[in-house]
Amino acid sequence: MHYTVVERELELKLVLSPEHSVAVPACLAYSTEDPYAVHIAFHINSDQPVNWTFARELLVEGVFRPCGQGDVRVWPAKAEGRSVVLMALSSPDGEALLEAPAAQVSAWLERTLRLVPPGSEGEQLGIDHALDQLLTR
């Protein structure tokens, strides 16, 4: 089966305090193989990138309004007059607040939504086809 991947390299800011942040190179990735999820790889000072996966729907909604609970929360904000998307990530290893440029995130999300429109994710997984195969036997 053929899968399509949409990637976007961008620079995020790791917010350490209201006055201080550190640039973090990252890669947003979306694959039709896993149509409900987005993947973000953060390239910090380690051998391997730090990877996070969460629902694409959460990021889509978070561009417009606060959403999420628990491990991943996303909301729009202004930083130095620019539109940004903030992502609060928490795990047993710690917590991070990341700031992403809203225009770049939105443009990348639009590409994923054109590839797999909301509501059609199940078709990508072939579940309907597999069910039809099972039921016709």
pLDDT of residue 136: 78
pLDDT at residue number 121 = 86
Rounded to the nearest 5 percent, the helix, strand and coil shares of the chain are 25, 50, 25
pTM: 0.85
Q: For the chain, what is the total number of helices (H) and then of strands (E)? A: 4, 8
Helix, strand or coil for residue 19? Answer: coil
Report all structural domains of the chain as residue ranges with CATH numbers, in order of start: 5-131 (2.30.31.20)
Q: Which tokens sit at 16? A: 């350490």
CA–CA gap between residue 47 and residue 22 (Å, rounded): 18
d(CA 115, CA 121): 10
Of 25, 29, 71, 30, nearest to 49 (Cα)?
25
pLDDT for position 129: 62
What does each of the 137 residues of the chain score in pLDDT, given as a tens digit? 688 999 999 999 999 998 899 999 999 999 999 999 999 999 887 788 889 999 999 999 999 999 998 899 999 999 889 999 999 999 888 889 999 999 999 999 999 999 999 888 877 766 666 667 677 76
Q: What is the pLDDT of residue 128?
A: 61
Q: Give yes or no for a contact between 64 and 76, defined as CB atoms under 8 angstroms apart.
A: yes
Question: What does the DSSP 8-state code read for residue 118?
Answer: T
Six-digit token string for 127: 């579940």
